[in-house]
């Protein structure tokens, strides 16, 4: 696996840290984190990234709004975005599919397999 730089945008510190640790240990990737959509947008615009893991349910600015803003910025519009969501209803999955997201990972996910899944969707 090549060394990737991944940004995790999630308002839940424990999920953010656990995912960061799994990706660093399992894949040896460099992981950046943001606790809100606003912080995530700032980081994405200022750092070279291979992908963004974006939580859908966040206060202030939710993941879909954050995604729209990423898409609207020429600096960030080509970064692959993988949504992290607890919403796995078919209607919601269809909504996500209509967006130009790279993939959707449903919570709770297996931290031991998430790195290989991300590597798979990015390659």
**Segment 37-80, tens digit of pLDDT:** 999 999 999 999 999 999 999 999 999 999 999 999 999 999 99
Is 68 inside any structural domain? Answer: yes
Is 123 inside any structural domain? Answer: no
Distance, CA of 79 to CA of 63 (rounded, Å) = 15
Q: Which domain holds residue 42?
A: 5-118
Is 48 inside any structural domain? Answer: yes
Confidence of residue 33 (pLDDT cuts 50, 70, 90): very high
CA distances (Å), origin 29, targets 2, 72, 115: 8, 27, 9
According to DSSP, residue 35 is labeled S
Q: What is the CATH number of the domain that holds 113?
A: 3.40.50.2300
Confidence of residue 2 (pLDDT cuts 50, 70, 90): low
Counting the structural domains of the chain, the total is 1
pTM of the model: 0.92
């Amino acid at each position: 696996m090549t060394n990737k730089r991944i940004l995790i945008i999630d308002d839940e510190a424990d999920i953010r840290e656990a995912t960061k640790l799994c990706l660093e240990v399992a894949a040896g990737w460099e992981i950046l984190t943001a606790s809100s959509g606003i912080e995530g947008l700032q980081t994405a615009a200022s750092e070279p990234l291979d992908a963004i893991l974006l939580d859908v349910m966040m206060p202030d600015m939710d993941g879909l709004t954050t995604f729209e803003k990423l898409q609207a910025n020429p600096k960030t519009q080509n970064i692959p975005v993988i949504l992290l969501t607890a919403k796995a209803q078919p209607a919601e999955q269809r909504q996500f599919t209509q967006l130009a997201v790279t993939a959707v990972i449903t919570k709770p996910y297996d931290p031991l397999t998430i790195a290989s899944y991300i590597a798979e969707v990015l390659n």
